[in-house]
A and B are shown apart, each in its own frame.
Chain A
Amino acid sequence: MSMLNIGTSALVTTQGALSTTSHNISNVNTEGYNRQRIEQGTRIPNFEGGYYIGSGVEISSVERLFDNFLAEQVRTFTSQEQQFDTFSTFARQVDDLLGSPQLSLSSGLEGFFNAVQDVSDDPTSIPARQVMLTEAETLTNRFNTLDSQLDAFNGQVNSSLDTAVKDINLLSQGISDLNQAIIEASGGAGIPPNDLMDQRDQLINELSALVSVSTLTQSNGAINVFVGTGQSLVIGNSSIDLNIVTDPADPSRNEIGYGPSSINISNQLTGGSVGGLLSVRQTVIDPARAEIDALAQGMITTINSQHIAGITLDGNAGGNFFEPADPLGNPTPDAGSIRLALTDPRDIAVAFPVGISTSQTNTGTGQIEVTAIDSSDPAFDATSVLAGAVSFSYDNTNKEYTVTYQGETATIAYDSAVDSGKSIDLSALTFTNLLGPAPTSPVLTVSLEGVPADTDQFTINNSVDALGNFTAVGDNRNALAMAELQVTKILNGGTQSFGDAYGILVANVATRTHQADVSQKTQLGLLDQTSLRYESVSGVNLDEEAANLIKFQQAYQAASQIITVSNTVFDSLIRAM
């Protein structure tokens, strides 16, 4: 009977092999499937006195071809690749936004300041003034749009984090369930339930695409999963949920909390799409919003302070050009709230609040020009900058101007040979105090030029006279001063113009996006190589399986022949009886 037994064992074993091959073939496209292989060995031989006779074949185990080291590497690279991929997806959106010609602040600023120059060319032209208002509105719209887009990106980050946390929790739950199933299936005998383990490995792989994880295999076959700095997601057959918490400092930001007490662990999470979301928010979206806000605040402050210093077409004091102006008010001035304060083009303050007249009797070539007006005093009123005329009289003997203001005098040394072009801040002058308190010095900066003759006289007066009459409608000096703000280095401690600051923002975002792209490609390459090695161990090759199929089919046919032969042998024996 041994021959029949041997034949049967061969048939059973070969059937097992054929089944395993079929299982491999059928799972060729199953995600996370690791090919299986039967390990077969000889059965315990029969001792026939002086010798052993082989007793056939048996399946000792069904092996899962799996290299834990490679699997861990694949997870690591998946985490990193996903992080950079997510980062670059979001950064690219910000990059496109800032670089888009339709939304770029750069062209918005250019359009606005060009319109200011057009107004300075024709101060009385209502169409030119209207264009300036329209361009200013376009600029504020761009600020608003950029702000709302960046806000929307922030919202996308929030909702992506929300989804990711839900996915992580589902996966943790799945892993813990599988842990339980595997512990039960192994039954303590250590027989691995291959397909369950495949499923669990696949879930861990999916988890690593969301966030970087580390694993620890327990002796009972369970795998514990950790995130961040060792916070456990899965311990044996139980899992701990992550949840969304809001940043108390900024309720518009979702953060990730751990466990029932919702401890914020955002700063400890790296890798995966969660890591990518957190880092793109921190390094791209937040700085971009801050920079755009700073730009908007800078625009509001500097344009307003120049505009307030001027006089409108109707002889009124220039008001705020942009709103909201109050940094402590509600809403606070930023890119989201900036808007145009004016509606009437006649209200643009294009003229300077003071004018200069030269005495008809002057014989020298001296000139005095007002170059700046300090409008920072809250009580500043452009229609009455001066309390009275400021008169300058040149004394050629002492090479100095005597400045008279409200009956008090001060002197400015001016030697045309060395001082031409000299700029003097009149508010820094101290007027002699002969009669009562000295007057408040005029908040003007003047430049002195040319060669004045002795006793030459100049007078600075308010452009709007005491009766409120204003004739200097063709004065473009305040518009010129506003246009000059385009190239003046105002922001970041006087190192950047508006355009510079925007350029630097674009460069920062572009560089980070570019870096993320490069890193993502690098990680993808590493992932591909590791995957190739992993797949070379665990992946199903159909040709191989086809060959195995032929091999096992032939073995099966041969084993069948054993049964036939054993039958023939048995028949011969019967017939002999």
Chain B
Amino acid sequence: MRVSTAYIFDQNLSAMLNQQTELGKTQLQVSTGKRILTPSDDPAGSVQILNLQRELGLSEQYLVNADKAENKQVIEEGVLQSTTDMLQRIRELAVQALNDTNTQNDRQAISAEISQLNEQLLAMANTRDSNGDYLFSGFSSNSQPYETLHGAYQGDEGQRNLKVGTGVLIESNDPGNKVFEAPVISTTFTTTLAPVATTVGTNTGSGAVAVNTYTGGSATFPAIDFTYDLALNEYTINDGVNAPVTIAYTDPMNVDLQAIDPNFPPMTVALSGTPADTDVLTLSNGTGTGQVAITDDSGVAETFSQITFSFRAEIIADPVGPPVVIGVPAQYDITDGINTSTVDYIDGMNVDLGTLNPNFPSISVSLSGAPLDGDVMIVEKTVTSTSQSMFKTIDNFVQALNNNTVGANDSPNNGDFLTNITASLNTVVDTRAKVGSRLNAIDQQRQINDGLSLNMQTTLSAIQDLDYAEAISRLTLQTTALQAAQQSFVKVQGLSLFNFL
């Protein structure tokens, strides 16, 4: 086929230009190290690159967040570590101070140290981070959590979450009221002379009334008569003040008087036996002067709610009625509702209940005064629990030590304080455990993110980075081809018949 001269020229020229373009592109690839120079070089690949870069960016941000979360947690961990140490020291000092051999001076000396530690604890709770934000005030970073030892918590319950992975939020703080506040218990003992049950002498049946519980303390009340009606099989309860009420009788039964009429005194009674018609049972205030007082409450933490002391007078002469043994001395029957024990009564005696019966709590009582036969003394333990800051708890104890009021009947009493400080310590330790597990979680998430980043970078590199071996050999090939084209162009263009004319 004939070809035109101009066409040969144009074709050679455009072929060289094309080769130069390709060479230029390869050279740009080599100098940037990128395989894809514009998205159209590889549309699918470039979208993958965009997505991978986005994911990588996120992953790197998660690592930044994880570092910040970790920093905060490490600071908190340090504070909690010191707090734990101080609380333990305070507890040791408290145990030492509570030892009965201490004088008030000794206790004051110890209390000074505890007070010092308490101030440090308060400072711990008011720690700020590098931004000047309070660590333990929740979201209210500018509010000092505890301004004074007795001050209320000024922060809120906000917990700042940091995003350390896709859908993974890690709490970076603990609100102070969840760290420095713990339930404190306060134990009080009340001794009550229970109402006395008497039976009218003309009764012919064997019906009896006994007091189960009485929480009226030393308050007095009008005598209450229980009158039996055989025909209706019911008791009429009448205290002469409130309207009489009737209750159906079954043997035996327990009756909560206040459940029948709130105006009755706070007691539950047991009715039993077979009363005859018109038989009358009476409950009235005790008149004995017997006293039961707690002298040592080291067993305060043991589980019991009340201990009943029932007095029997010495039997001197054989009364009318069932036969009894003459010469039995005055005695207290002691029961906690399950275990029972009996002691001979000597005015002013001290009884260690734990020694009397190992099942009793380890508390000591002093028994004194002139109780009457049938008097029942009820010793009731009341435990109230509220939540308050450890600073307040400790400071209260410091005051008690200063005043040397850490005895059994003082409040707070010694057993309570140790229980309370242990509760505070537990709260701090629990928080430390949380911080530890968060640090673990951050570490794990960091490893996951690192792994993901590495994978993504590998993939990204495979997609966007240049295969240098291939590119360099391509560059060499293209250079050679261009040189060949240039040389042949000159040669071919030199060939003309006109040269020979």
Contact = CB atoms under 8 A, between A and B. Distances in A.
A532 B3 contact: yes
A528 interface: yes
B4 A541 contact: yes
Nearest to A88: B40
B68 to A, nearest CB: 4
Given A473-B142, A539-B4, A546-B498, A510 B50 contact: no
Interface in A287-306: none
A473 B140 contact: yes
Given A106-B54, A480-B163, A528-B11, A471 B142 contact: yes
Contacts of B44: 507
Interface in A111-150: 113-114, 117-118, 120-125
B139 interface: yes
Interface stretch (A268-276, A330-338, A352-360, A569-577): A352-360
B161 A358 contact: no
A509 B50 CA distance: 14
Contacts of B69: 121
Interface in A163-181: none
A7 interface: no
Contact of B497 (A98, A517, A532, A546): A546
Contacts of B177: 360
B7 A539 contact: yes
B3 A106 contact: no
Contacts of A29: 6
Interface stretch (B58-66, B298-306, B425-433, B452-460): B58-66
Nearest to B39: A510
Interface residues of B, number: 56
Interface stretch (B152-160, B326-334, B363-371): B152-160
B260 to A, nearest CB: 28
Given A124-B141, A473-B142, A542-B498, A118 B64 contact: yes
Contact of A503 (B51, B156, B158, B169): B51
A28 interface: yes
A500 to B, nearest CB: 8
Interface string B32-68: 0000001111111011001101100110010011001
A372 to B, nearest CB: 15
Contacts of B162: 120-121, 476
B5 A542 contact: yes
A542 B163 contact: no
B39 A99 contact: yes
Contacts of A538: 4
Most chain A Cβ neighbours within 10 Å, of B38, B138, B142: B38
B163 A472 contact: no
B158 A483 contact: no
B157 A124 contact: no
A487 interface: yes
Interface in B217-269: none
A504 interface: yes
Interface stretch (A89-97, A227-235, A396-404, A421-429): A89-97
A472 B156 contact: yes
A540 interface: yes
A351 B139 contact: yes
Contacts of B138: 472, 474
Contact of B139 (A99, A109, A475): A475
A91 B39 CA distance: 11
B40 A92 contact: yes
Interface string B1-30: 111111100010000000000000000000
A539 B57 contact: no
A514 B497 CA distance: 45
A536 B54 contact: no
B461 to A, nearest CB: 17
Most chain A Cβ neighbours within 10 Å, of B43, B143, B162, B177: B43
B166 A487 contact: yes
A310 interface: no
Contacts of B65: 117, 120-121
Contact of B140 (A113, A474, A477): A474
Contacts of B102: none
B160 A474 contact: yes
Contacts of A92: 38, 40
A550 to B, nearest CB: 7
Interface residues of A, number: 72
A544 interface: yes
A535 interface: yes
B163 A117 contact: yes
Nearest to A110: B57
B21 to A, nearest CB: 12
Interface in A39-67: none
Given A472-B156, A476-B160, A506 B46 contact: yes
A124 B65 CA distance: 15
A499 interface: yes
A113 B65 CA distance: 13
Contacts of A499: 50-51, 54
Contacts of B43: 507, 510-511, 513-514
Given A28-B5, A471-B156, A541-B5, A480 B39 contact: no
A20 interface: no
A91 to B, nearest CB: 7
Given A110-B57, A507-B39, A125 B131 contact: yes
A143 B1 CA distance: 57
Contacts of A506: 39, 46-47, 50
Contact of A471 (B68, B131, B140): B140
B424 to A, nearest CB: 15
A472 B140 contact: yes
Given A472-B139, A509-B39, A536-B1, A123 B160 contact: yes
A486 interface: yes
Contacts of B6: 28-29, 535, 539-540
Contacts of B40: 91-92, 95, 509-511, 513-514, 517
A107 B60 CA distance: 14
B4 A535 contact: yes
A543 interface: yes
Nearest to B132: A124
A205 interface: no
B353 to A, nearest CB: 32
A355 B139 contact: yes
B4 to A, nearest CB: 2
Contacts of A109: 54
B384 interface: no
B169 A480 contact: yes
B57 A114 contact: yes
A356 B39 contact: no
B467 interface: no
A547 B169 CA distance: 88
Contacts of A480: 161, 163, 169
Given A474-B158, A483-B163, A506-B39, A124 B131 contact: yes
Interface string A16-29: 00000000000011
A54 to B, nearest CB: 32
Contacts of B498: 542, 546
Given A120-B163, A472-B138, A513-B40, 4 more contacts: A95-B39, A114-B61, A473-B142, A539-B5
- The 9 tightest CB contacts between A and B, nearest first, are A539-B4, A474-B141, A472-B139, A510-B39, A513-B40, A510-B43, A546-B497, A475-B139, A471-B140
Interface of B: 1-7, 11, 38-44, 46-47, 50-51, 53-54, 57-58, 61, 64-65, 68-69, 131-133, 137-143, 155-158, 160-163, 166, 169, 173, 177, 181, 387, 496-498, 501
29 contacts: A28-B6, A92-B38, A95-B40, A106-B53, A106-B54, A107-B53, A110-B54, A114-B61, A118-B61, A120-B162, A121-B65, A122-B68, A123-B141, A355-B157, A463-B139, A471-B156, A473-B141, A474-B158, A480-B161, A486-B58, A510-B38, A513-B38, A513-B40, A532-B7, A538-B4, A541-B2, A541-B5, A543-B496, A550-B501
